[in-house]
Structure 1
Amino acid sequence: MDPLVVDVVHFYPRENSQPHYTIKFEVINEENPTTAIVRRGQPFNGVVRFTRPVDENEDTVQLVFTLGDKPQMDTQGAMFLKRDVLPDKYNWTAKILDVQGDTISFEVSTPVHLPVGVWALRVVTRVKSSQAREVYDFDQDLYILFNPWNPDDQTYMEDTNLLQEYVLNDVGKVWVGPIKTTRGKPWFYGQFDSIVLPATMFLLDRAEIPFHQRGDPIKLTRAISRIVNSNDDGGVLVGRWDGQYDDGTAPSEWTGSVEILGQYLETQQEVPYGQCWVFAGVVTTVCRALGIPSRVVSNLVSAHDANSSLTVDKYYTETMEELDFDPNNPQGADSIWNYHVWNDVWMARPDLPAGYGGWQAIDATPQETSLGMYQCGPAPLEAIKQGVIGLNFDVEFMLASVNADLMRWRKDPDSESGYSMVDTNNYHIGRMILTKKPFVFDPLGDEDRQDIIGEYKYREGTASERLALMNGVRYSERAKRYYAVAANASNDVTFKMRDIDTVPIGKDFRVIVDIDNISNEGRNIKAAITATSVFYNGVKSELVKKIEGKVFVGPQKHEQVSILVKADDYLPKLVEYCNMKISAMAIVDETKQSWADDDDFQVLRPNINIKFNEDLILNQPVTAVLSFVNPLERALTGCEFRVSSSGVAGRALRVPADDAPPRALVSAQLPVLPNKLGMISFVATFKSAELKDINGAANVEVFEG
């Protein structure tokens, strides 16, 4: 008798996908799906048909699963099909469920710590009485992913309801913009799109992560933070912050991750251009596709501590002109970003003492190297909150991002270090840390906004918050020196810059500084106020307006200085995202007391309205109308909308629009063919030569015909 010859192997892609929570992947929903997608540590079913009937006493059937081209112990599983097998969470098993004629139905169980990826299957058959064997190589894809629903998986989330948001939700929001005008920018993650898993496998290979390490979410997410930027290793996105994007796509134009990952897979080249929320959006897509719970996190007023002092230091000349470099750190100055976006990923941390599992911060935006590469994290939020900077990975950098003190220094020939302390602000950095609230999506408003600052730090000014920061300072010699100087300074004039709340684009605004002399003698004060346009990472673009002068404030008296900034002053100088920085500084002649403060705000732009002129019916064409009112006193030229949606054919659609006169309606029509039932989301962006970074989103229900 010859060994069995395999006719067909089938893994029931659709049936297995229900208990494995993989039913949303597009390839599972094709007419005759051939790709199977399952989660580790959980049984899945298959069937093998041979060219002759099976004789259970004589025939042996062996399944050999392998990952990568050089399988080792961790990346290979070989087992014989048997009747009486008990599943075991640490080993591969294959159990016969039924034998009918030429067909065997079986159930495979995989180890719960298995590396994730595309596994290959070889079926080897023998007859007991002979040495001859037949080998069959299965030629379809079998993806095995992380299983956060399984209590033994390192990515397990106890509240499994939250996995609907952090693994299965394919649309979200990223909060961008300065603290007073921050708003949620809709982002289409699209992790179930047919190109995302292949693109993810390509980028893991590009990052050269050994196959046997791909089951460890700690190593994997650290590598993902490195490979989503292109700095070291031909990663996905080229970061750029200078407004020059003509040879690529401007960061503000992207509507989601699918187009980026598709371009990366197709060209096998880095994709221009990304900024922090684009990196973070792609990271969430990759993590959710692999089954690692992930969320996008925005830190409003984010510190970049370039010299590990746990402070952000600003330096001024003797006359209080701000220096744009750090005299104590030639490598680079500290900076403050209006906001910075990174990711939290969820996992247990068996490599650390108990209590540091749960959410971990990773950051794919290249800022500082960590162990020689542009990578950051995973840093446990609990370690950041407690100021425990010795734990892996990059806790110190993340602690400074959310909780550094802002210190201002003025050149002072009489001081031992050459600089004297102007002031120190404990409240400035890390004002809010925002993410999308689970189970809510508000396309036009902010009902879906959740402030998770309490997970990153204690409330500002509380004893616990100071203790956590000082806990970090205690471990850093450099930080100790900075904090020692901050302890002594006396002042008898108070200064306060008034907040600017909202400025709609095209409107004037005024900056006011209140000065109170609380001494019993008059004070002569030199003061200056400037308004500058800035990129969101804190880099200045152009001076918009500046005033300087002297003011006398009598004993126990109040005065104010102010500057009016007109629309015509700032409109020609606005850069992307329309961020403005107001800075004020002052010196008291008699006491040499100095003061400085600055404030960021964003000139507000309208949202895109997305409307449909009739109900959406499955597979029936309908027209979407995209519109907003031009807020400027000048025409808009070179207008284009971009739209992404999970429920229509064609992933990212571009629609040119006519030039729009001043204050007129800008609109375009987009033919849409819905191909999915239920609620679908649309995400849109708009650009023109005069106005960029306009966003909008809508949720719409698609009905049966």
Structure 2
Amino acid sequence: MAKQLTLEKCDLEYKKNGKSHWTSGLCRDRLVVRRGQPFSINMFFQGRGFEASVDKLYFIVETGPYPIEAAGTKAKFALSDSVYEGAWAASVVGQEGNMLRLTISSPPNAPIGYYKLSVEAITESQSNTFSAASFTLLFNPWCQADLVYMENDEFRKEYVMNQHGIIFQGSYKYVNKIPWNFGQFEDGILDTCIELLDMSPKFIKDPSHDCSQRNNPVYVSRVMSAMVNCNDDKGILYGRWDNIYNDGINPMAWIGSVDILRKWKKSGCQQVKYGQCWVFAAVACTVLRCLGIPARVITNYNSAHDSNANLIIEVITDEAGKILKKDSEMIWNYHCWLEAWMARPDLQPGYNGWQAIDPTPQEKSEGTYCCGPSSVKAIKNGDVNTKYDAPFVFAEVNADVVNWIRKGDGSTEKLYTKTAKVGLMISTKAVGKDEREDITHNYKHPEGSHEEREAFKKANHTNKLYPRDEYPLDNMLKLKIKVSPDMNKGNDFDVFGVINNISTMEQKCQLMIVARTVSYNGQLGPECSRKEMPFLNIEPVSEKKIPLRIQYSNYRDHLNESNLIKVKMLLQLHESRTFLLAERDIYLQNPEIKIRILGEPKKFRKLVAELSVKNPLQIPLLGAVFTVEGAGLTQGQKIIEINEPVEPGSTLTTRVDLMPQWRGLHKLVVNFESDKMKAVKGYWNVIIGD
């Protein structure tokens, strides 16, 4: 009688599997593999080796707290002679004495998550079951049968493997780019991402069903959209937009997702304070990339928040140029969300590819603060009857804007409709470089084109369409606001209201130009400059240029970290009592953080980063702090506090030690804060050799 086969240990070949599955950054002390692709293990038996003539081996894989075969969370399969694609399978690669070399295959639609691998050994009717190994299974953009398959290898490097990126802010007239450390392969991040799914109300309500649905990137990305904000659950980020952040961290101060995810995990899944749109989007991007779903952060300039789903944004201004908040819908200076790449078998053909997902809590979807995934191709076609949340996303990029003025007697007059104001310069980081790629054409046809208007009508088929009267006085007067070329925070500068009288008649009017600080989401702050001219004559066929001086002393205490000032110009013709309105958002530039790398950039060899920033203000900076991080360069964040004041015009310099962990391109990300200069960002690309 043959001796019972006994499993002694397993070698999970971390290095080999990590390299072939593009998970080397996660495979240092565990097995992390991608579904639909074989991985290798070596099994060592005690006393004797495997004998095919007398031994039978069965393998059991299980995921979730209640694994069952019917739900796809458990599978049992026998050792076979060859690998079966599309199913759980095990086959022999080779045998050396008591060691058996095996290949384990998983189906491309298996649920992602933690798995237990057990082995049942049967020898002459005697059966023993051994716990063999644990592994983590991820989505696989390299596998053609996976719903997240992405054919282009450069795209996979950018949208799955790249641990750093660029997010665009500012205004569409002046695009500002900030660096971000996604860090999806940093220590502990994978466990935190899976715990995020386990904290979802869907998992808590029905763990078995939830785990079975984790085979579907549509489901996983929708759960993630809800869990990155904490509005309905024990999610990650608490959103705040009122500029009161004393009990947390100013959203503008974050430079990466890693610190946010670690804070959430360490606190026992307590909300992290505070987030705004780009922070929500960037953290979600980290989670999706970590789980294997290609993702990228998107910025939409002049982004509409359509609260009543009629695809019309109505903005009502009083005669002093002030927006009446109670009656007006919002246009954000910019708004960030993310896109995830996946097939959509739940939608009609043609709607695969990029899907818009917005974890910033704005409106509820099916009772929960989440948004998407919504097919970008469907948005472009005006097909808003597709799930999920297509009407809201369509309005963000393609709503029409109707401006009204409320007169002193309480009556309201329509000024004009703008069909090309919303959804400008939709932007994302370009593949393989730190430049902006304009993807507006993915979301909409060219403004004013027949195709664009047809898509709008299709999306808006149940609502009123306003006539496209851009300006009622276009044949008489044109207004424009021009700015100085160099507008740096701390400086005084001029803006100019320009009035063109293109008629052959003199125009008598009154003019008001007002500058106010503004948040990126459109919330206006106090005035910082105003000019009123009750009697202004514009000669026939002439141009008049009116300067408005904006002084640092007037905006210093009111400018928030968005560094934005909104200038409005309101003109009223005396004879007809007709109004004209022009506006422009101004972005004030922060000083540059200069970064110098000292030392030879090689793996496991200390480097020094020298950081310097000049105080451009007319007053000293107090409480200066540098925060530094970079995937593979630092172990967590490094914080350098400066105790002395930084005098006006002087340059502050400090140094920080780095220890590169692996070869290739890295990005060192820096944030500088002080009492009067916030959210100053800088970065430096470092190429590490062996």
State the TM-score bracket (shorter-chain normalisation): over 0.9
- Deviation per CA, 1:249-307: give whole Å up to 9, x if none: 22122221111111111112111111111111111111111111111111112111112
Deviations 1:587-613 (CA, angstroms, capped at 9, x unpaired): 223223212221111111112111123
* Partner in structure 1 of residue 65 of structure 2: 69
Aligned-partner Cα distance in 2 for 1:687–1:414: 47
Shift of the 141–698 alpha-carbon distance from structure 1 to 2, 3 Å rule, reads farther
Q: Deviations over 1:528-568 (max 9, x none)?
A: 21111111111112221223231343562544444211222
Amino acid across the alignment from 1:405: D
CA contact (8 A) 2:110 2:215 kept: yes
Amino acid at match of 1:76: T
Aligned to 1:608: 593
- Pick from 528, 533, 536 the counterpart of residue 520 of structure 2: 536
**C-alpha separation in 2, matches of 1:203 and 1:472:** 35
Secondary structure (helix, strand or coil) at the match of 2:325 reads coil
What are the residue-to-residue correspondences of 1:452-601 with 2, within 5 Å?
Answer: 452-474=439-461, 476-477=462-463, 480=464, 482-484=465-467, 489=472, 493-500=476-483, 501-518=485-502, 522-553=506-537, 556=540, 558=542, 559-601=544-586
Match of 1:196 in 2: 189
Does 2:40 correspond to 1:57? no
Cα distance, 1:149 vs. partner?
Answer: 1.1
Contact 1:225 1:375 survives alignment (8 Å): yes
For 2:666, what is the secondary structure of its paired residue? strand
Match of 1:445 in 2: none
Letter in 2 for 1:470: K
Identity over aligned pairs, percent: 32
- Relative to structure 1, the CA distance from residue 607 to residue 519 in structure 2 (aligned partners, 3 Å threshold; closer, same or farther) is closer
1:365 & 1:102 partners in 2: Cα distance? 55
Task: Name the residue aligned to 1:252.
Answer: 252
Which residues of structure 2 form unaligned runs of 5+?
Answer: 204-209
Q: Structure 1 residue 107 and structure 2 residue 106: aligned?
A: no
> CA 1:676–1:84 in structure 2 vs 1: closer, same or farther (change >3 Å)?
closer
Does the CA-based 8 Å contact 2:321-2:568 persist in structure 1? no
* 1:124 corresponds to 2:120: yes
Q: Per-residue displacement from partner, 1:95-123 (whole Å, max 9, x unpaired)?
A: 12334443322211111111111111222
Which residue of 2 is the match for residue 421 of structure 1? 414
Instruction: Indicate whether 1:388 and 2:374 are aligned.
Output: no
Question: Are positions 1:644 and 2:629 aligned together?
Answer: yes
Q: How has the CA–CA distance of structure 1 residues 457 and 60 changed in structure 2, closer, same or farther, with 3 Å as cutoff? A: same
CA 377–21 in structure 1, closer or farther in 2 if over 3 Å, else same: same
Report the RMSD for the aligned CA atoms in angstroms. Answer: 2.3
By how many angstroms is 1:424 displaced?
1.4
Contact 2:594/2:613 (<8 A) preserved: yes
Cα shift at 1:146: 0.7
Amino acid at match of 2:146: D
Summarize the alignment of residues 152-301 of structure 1 with structure 2, pairs less than 5 Å apart.
Answer: 152-207=145-200, 208-209=202-203, 210-267=210-267, 268-301=269-302
- Give the unaligned 5+ runs of structure 1: 328-332, 442-447
What's 2:11 paired with?
Answer: 10
2:680 is matched with 694
Match of 1:88 in 2: 85
Aligned-residue offset at 1:58: 2.8
Distance 1:350 1:541, change over 3 A: same
- Supply the AA of the counterpart residue of 1:471: K
Corresponding residue to 2:76 among 79, 100, 115? 79
**Change over 3 Å in CA distance of 1:337–1:385 after alignment to 2:** same
Amino acid aligned to 1:56: A
> What amino acid is the match of 1:662?
P
Secondary structure at the counterpart of residue 260 of structure 2: helix
State the 1:486 CA deviation: 5.5
Give the conservation status (yes or no) of the 8 Å contact 2:333–2:520.
yes
Alignment of 1:291-440 (within 5 A): 291-317=292-318, 319=319, 321-327=321-327, 333-411=328-406, 419-440=412-433
- Does the aligned pair in 2 maintain the 1:493–1:515 contact within 8 Å? no
Deviation at 1:520, TM superposition (A): 5.6
Counterpart secondary structure, 2:460: helix
Cα separation, 1, equivalents of 2:362 and 2:77: 51
Q: What displacement does 1:316 show?
A: 2.6
Superposed displacement of residue 320, structure 1: 5.7
The AA in structure 2 aligned to 1:526 is: Q
Taking the aligned partners of 1:258 and 1:128, their CA distance within structure 2 comes to 53
Q: Distance in 1 between matches of 2:176 and 2:471?
A: 39
Q: Using the alignment, how far apart are the partners of 1:169 and 1:453 within structure 2?
A: 23
Query: Structure 1 residue aligned with 2:657, among 671, 683, 689?
Result: 671
Within 1, Cα distance between the matches of 2:372 and 2:77?
A: 41
> Is 1:634 paired with 2:630?
no
- Tell me: CA distance 1:56–1:557, structure 2 relative to 1, closer, same or farther (3 Å): closer
Deviation per residue, 1:198-227 (Å, 9 max, x gap): 000110111134001111111111111111
- Give the equivalent residue in structure 1 for 2:207: none
Letter of the structure 2 residue corresponding to residue 213 of structure 1: Q
One of 637, 641, 654 as aligned partner of 2:639: 654
- What secondary structure does 1:303 align onto? strand
Letter in 1 for 2:527: L
Amino acid of the residue matched to residue 53 of structure 2?
A: N
- Contact 1:421–1:485 (8 Å) recurs in 2: no
Matched with 2:206 is none
**1:134 paired residue number:** 128
Distance 1:129 1:510 in 2: 91
Over 3 Å counting, the alpha-carbon distance change for 1:630 and 1:62 in structure 2 is: same
- How many residues are paired up? 676
Offset at 1:240?
1.4
Aligned residue in 1 for 2:667: 681
DSSP-derived class of the 2:79 partner = coil
- Following superposition, the deviation at residue 154 of structure 1 comes to 0.5
State whether residues 236 and 272 of structure 2, in contact with CA within 8 Å, keep that contact through their aligned partners in structure 1: yes
TM-score by length of 1: 0.91
The match for 1:24 is 25
Instruction: Give SS of 1:202's match.
Output: helix
* Contact 1:545-1:565 within 8 A present in 2 as well: yes
SS of 2:20's equivalent in the other structure is coil
CA deviation string 1:365-419 (max 9, x = no partner): 111111221111111111111111111111111111112122101347999xx64
Specify the SS of the correspondent of 1:64.
strand
The CA deviation at 1:488 is 9.8
Q: Give the Cα–Cα distance (whole angstroms) in 2 for the partners of residues 491 and 129 of structure 1.
A: 92
What's the offset of the Cα at 1:228?
0.6
What is the letter of the counterpart of residue 497 of structure 1?
K
- Give, in whole Å, the separation in 1 of the partners of 2:408 and 2:324: 20
